[in-house]
Copies of this chain bind each other. A is one copy, B any other.
Amino acid sequence: MQTELSEQLGVEHALFGFTPFPAVAAAISRAGGFGVLGAVRYTAPDDLKRDLDWVEAHVDGRPYGLDVVMPAKKVEGVTEAEVEAMIPAGHRQFVKDTLARYGVPELADGEASGWRITGWMEQVARSQLDVAFDYPIKLLANALGSPPADVVGRAHERGLLVAALAGSARHARKHREAGIDIVVAQGYEAGGHTGEIGSMVLTPEVVDAVAPLPVLAAGGIGSGQQVAAALALGAQGVWLGSIWLTTTEAELPSRALVRKLLSAGSGDTVRSRALTGKPARQLRTEWTDAWDGPGGPGTLPMPLQGLLVADAITRIQRYEVEPLLGTPVGQIVGRMNEERSVQAVVDDLTRGFERAVDRINRIAGRSRQ
């Protein structure tokens, strides 16, 4: 499964795997795909350094990349405390009441929230980059618009390709103007932040909008048939995130969450602002229902919403409060029905791709060579 882009990056399959887990990222690259480690949870540079060292030691010399969350617009000199102060008391009370209704225990003293707003702030993303640029990463992706021009410049100086996610042709064109090398077309079906255009429509639209830049298709891809469909739509590869969550190498914070993912159907996700303030697809839970229902106070804009709920999410995960327990995940969660190794997932994708190509050739009246 070779495209110009996969050849340029020196990988066997045009499969790009985004994951917050170093063991998954390394396993994707070892299996012939391109592993991309999500950096958003590394608020301490030393933690990122430790995990990049681990990836380096376990990637068998194969290429890999890093994904940061960096806003193009700088927020100058605002502290986390100042941002905290912008959260209305009624919203804090709603979080408190909702957690109390489900009997969610408090965190012990000093038990840090796993998901901090700081990971979204530019200075943190920059400190992550200062670490990452010391490693031989081949690709830098940004999940939140185009990265700032100086970051694109630094990446290019080091020979990295820069990728950015887009949910519309308009966003994709902005990325091209910002000097981005690869656009990830993130369809409505995808986990995490998504727009409203389905992958079937978005992928070719973005391909046309930014040609000749390569496009990776994201959203709704978890089988070899879906890989074939995305490549037929003009993508130069696929970008998969959700499918790795239930691999044996993944380190989800809770077994109950793994069980929820394995049993969820494609209709069990929701695009909700409850997690970050922007629409992000995630498991539908009584937590998202509380926010999105008529009794909710309405969500706050990014980054306030994420800051408001960070500790609540940690408590829900820590104590495995099942009705409230969720995670960003795409509609392909309906296919994630067993725990498999990363290698088994990649084998399934590549074999399924070959079968889909056989099928399409039969339909086109071309026999297999």
Contacts and interface: CB of A to CB of B under 8 A. Distances in A.
A83 B161 CA distance: 62
B204 A226 contact: yes
A367 B365 contact: no
A297 to B, nearest CB: 15
Contacts of A2: 363, 365
What is the copy number of this chain in the assembly? 2
Contacts of A359: 231-232, 234
Interface in A219-249: 219-221, 223, 225-226, 228-234
Contact of A363 (B3, B195, B200, B221): B3
Nearest to A227: B232
A369 interface: yes
Given A331-B197, A363-B231, A202 B266 contact: yes
B267 A331 contact: no
Interface in A178-195: 187-189, 195
A219 to B, nearest CB: 7
Given A267-B168, A367-B369, A369-B366, A231 B201 contact: no
Interface of A: 1-3, 14, 168-169, 187-189, 195-202, 204-205, 219-221, 223, 225-226, 228-234, 265-267, 330-332, 334-335, 353-354, 356-357, 359-361, 363-369
24 contacts: A187-B200, A189-B201, A197-B266, A198-B198, A198-B199, A198-B331, A199-B200, A200-B200, A200-B220, A200-B230, A201-B332, A201-B334, A205-B335, A225-B233, A225-B234, A228-B229, A231-B359, A232-B232, A234-B359, A357-B360, A357-B364, A360-B360, A366-B368, A366-B369
